[in-house]
Amino acid sequence: MNRNGFGGISRRQMLKAGAALGAGAVAGGLPSLAARADTPELTMWWWGEQELPGLQAFVDESVKAYTAATVKPMLQDTAVVISQFQTAAAAGEAPDIQYLWNGIYHMESVWLGYVKPLNGLVKDEVITSSNPTLLSRYGGNIYRLGWYPLPMVWIYNKDLYDKAGLDADNPPKTWDELLAAAEKLKSAGISPIGGGIQDGYWGEWFAGHGFAQNVDSAGEIVDLFTGEKDFREPRYHAHWVKLEELKKAGFLNPEISSTELYPGIDLIVAGKVATGLSIGSRLPADSKATGGRIGVMPMPVYGPGKMAGKPILDTQGIGISAGSKNPEAAAAFLEYLNSPERLKAFYDKTGWLPANVNFDLSVVEDASVRDMWQRWGLSENIPYLGNLVPGQFYEQALLPAAQQVVEGKITGEQAGELAYNVAKEWREFNPDIVENYKTWAVDLAG
């Protein structure tokens, strides 16, 4: 694991590994904390040091400084974040506070009744300012606070754009502009677009951006899984058609199929590929490595959907167990983590931004990071729609579809057919979850 993301393992793999490992595997034990007299005792299971070094120091310092309760934190192993919590919740032994990934990754626990709504428990202004994203809403309630953000971005190497005679300060805003820029880059002997898709995750990110191009709300993506919408409609598989277009034009880097996701991003930083996909938490290190020559942009627009062209913001989060015996005390601690003092401490310990929009950006020295957060965190943004995808669809359609298009084995239209068939099979075998998805779609329709 590294601070730049999941280091080659997907959250879907974590779900599968968690089922095999069970609830017992954890990273480290509980710290030795003497109970404070006449104060509540809280347990907190959390994750994040694996992708954001320094978070452990932030948690330890926060727990030590907090006086309204005794908080006992435990860092969870990546593979069992979900399964360990669900097993403990089913046995009535869940922690008071639990780390929660976004979208379907925590919504399954909501549907099982294991996570407590935060409405009326945590102050409304704290919920809103923490940027939990729309995907934390179900049945009119919010179930997570945002903890730290993961902007989903397209990046480009400004030096390569300069070399091709492009304006590095004005990257492509539309698909036609992207194709024109790619032609100039290719003529200059530069791989215009790409990265690494060998492990499949680049294809997930490409679809996560592409989903937004032709929809007006996140609920429309859910409709593709409940059967209200159909992946065979051209607008719902258009992103795979666009990927086919890049393939046929020779705009993808030749090693894309033999390179994994994060080494593929490194190709852009190293000046070997001009444009690709990344996450905002990489920007501080990648900007430093290139002397500030990594640019950031949304996916160039090709669709008429209301979500097209808007910055995508995913957020790691934290919530309160439905089985907590001290939910009010847990809520107070979460509010404490969102205090101005703790927000600054978060940045000091991790070098990355907290999700809270009240964080003082003046302490951030890197201008590119400040600019990105102004555009992704403090302006209108949309959630990462890839977090709505059921596990079966993820494994059997989302990852292989893009890989096969890039390898020239199927067309973009055939990828839409594959997606339709997998979604149909999922519905037939999971009628109870389909009903939950239908309820979720109402909230996500905005």
Q: Do 266 and 233 touch, CB atoms closer than 8 A? A: no
Q: pTM of the full predicted structure? A: 0.91
Of the candidates 249, 95, 70, the one whose C-alpha atom is nearest the C-alpha of residue 176 is 249
What does the alpha-carbon distance between residue 127 and residue 64 come to, in Å, rounded to a whole number? Answer: 24
**pLDDT value of position 364:** 95
**pLDDT value of position 344:** 97
Residue 171: what are its φ and ψ, rounded to 5°? -70, 165
- 296-315 CB burial, b ≥16 within 10 A, e <16: bbbbbbbbebebbbbbbbbb
CA separation, residue 113 to residues 226, 234, 323 (Å): 22, 38, 9
**Any idea what DSSP says for residue 36?**
P
Q: Do 147 and 318 touch, CB atoms closer than 8 A? A: yes
Q: Which residues of the chain have pLDDT under 50?
A: 1-9, 14-36
| Fold assignment, 11-150+314-373 | D-Maltodextrin-Binding Protein; domain 2 (3.40.190)
**pLDDT value of position 22:** 35
What does the alpha-carbon distance between residue 158 and residue 145 come to, in Å, rounded to a whole number? Answer: 36
Helix axes 412-429, 399-406, angle to 10 degrees: 160
Of the candidates 352, 376, 355, 377, the one whose C-alpha atom is nearest the C-alpha of residue 365 is 352
Q: Give the HSE-up count for residue 439: Cα atoms under 13 Å, Cβ half-sphere.
A: 14
- Domain locations in the chain as residue ranges: 11-150+314-373
Q: Do 395 and 331 touch, CB atoms closer than 8 A? A: no
412, β-bridge pairs:
none
**pLDDT value of position 38:** 74
What does the alpha-carbon distance between residue 315 and residue 354 come to, in Å, rounded to a whole number? Answer: 10
**pLDDT value of position 24:** 38
**pLDDT value of position 30:** 45
**pLDDT value of position 296:** 97
Burial class (CB in 10 A: 0-12, 13-18, 19+), 165: exposed
12 — alpha (psi -120 to 50), left (phi > 0) or beta? alpha
**Any idea what DSSP says for residue 31?**
-
What does the alpha-carbon distance between residue 285 and residue 292 come to, in Å, rounded to a whole number? Answer: 10
* Amino acid (1-letter code) at residue 356: N
What does the alpha-carbon distance between residue 354 and residue 290 come to, in Å, rounded to a whole number? Answer: 24
